[in-house]
Amino acid sequence: MGIFEGFGHIALKVNDLEASVGFYERIGFPEMLRLLDARGEPWIVYHRISEHLYLELLPGGDGAASPDPGRTGMNHLCLTVANADEAEKKLAEAGVKLSRPRKTVRGVDGNWGMWIEDLDGNRIEIQEMAPQCIQFEAERNLAAGARAQVRSIY
């Protein structure tokens, strides 16, 4: 048993808080809590991703976009969906364009994936996990007491 029970939240500093709140609500994460500072100004806005998993938006970004994914630091956020086709359709209906479309073949891990970006350029992977994907296989092996797997993607 590990020390941690799960992943709690991701916090993003944003340039335009209200626009970012609207973006994350359009992709299905309702605002659930707004904390105000001593001046009554927004300090943190919480969005619900799933039970016990939240997104925190913090105002006061410096006006720049999120760093290039080749830089050290967070590369992207991955959100899972039950059906990639349905997710793509709902994103289009919400006015959210794909920054990288879904491939016509599954990725090297066996999953479907596509990408969007938020208003500050943070990359978000949308992934439909396949029942027999390499991640689930590794989880089953780990649960059975096996060591971490090392696999070539080629």
| Domain CATH code at residue 89 | 3.30.720.110
- Rounded-to-integer distance, Cα 122 and Cα 5, Å: 26
**Burial grade of 116 (CB within 10 A; 0-12, 13-18, 19 or more):** buried
pLDDT, residue 153, reads 66
Range of the domain at 55: 7-63
Of 17, 32, 63, the position where a domain reaches its end is: 63
Q: Are residues 34 and 59 in the same domain?
A: yes
Please give the pLDDT value at position 139. 87
Write down the pLDDT at residue 96.
95
Asked which of 25-29, 88-92, 108-112, 149-153 is least confident by mean pLDDT, the reply is: 149-153
Angstrom distance (rounded) from CA 97 to CA 103: 15
